[in-house]
Amino acid sequence: MIAIATSYLAQCHLQRARITTLAKDMRVSYTTVNRRLRAGGTSFRKLVAKERMSRLMAELESHPKANGTRLAIVAGFSDHQGAERFFKSHAGMTLSEFKSREIKDHV
């Protein structure tokens, strides 16, 4: 179930990612998806967060000077403030701090 959910998230626009859509595509109930993910030690929300962080890091690696709007779009946020808040809560620093640290590390 986790592999299927991860694959679904990798293929969709994260703003539109819904557990109900995944359940419908799998022809099971929302409750079944939720229960199976919990049994695997995760949740749909955690998988979305993991996919967003993965997309942000990939974009930062390939485009270190990408602006906040571009990063937000790639990670499925409607604006750059959402991407900033998300990144800071998961990485412990802002996108700007991360970018400046990465530039220093590569010089």
Residues 50 and 101 in one domain: yes
Sort 101 into a burial class: Cβ within 10 Å, 0-12 / 13-18 / 19+: exposed
Say whether both 36 and 53 belong to one domain. no
Say if residues 33 and 44 touch (Cβ distance below 8 Å). yes
CA pair distance 5, 27, nearest whole angstrom: 13
User: Same structural domain for residues 21 and 36?
Assistant: yes
Query: Do 14 and 59 reside in the same domain of the chain?
Result: no
Q: What is the pLDDT of residues 45-77, one digit of tens each?
A: 999 999 999 999 999 999 988 898 999 999 999
Q: What is the pLDDT of residues 12-52, one digit of tens each?
A: 878 788 999 999 999 999 999 999 999 999 999 999 999 99
* pLDDT (0 to 100) of residue 82: 93
Q: DSSP secondary-structure letter at 13?
A: -
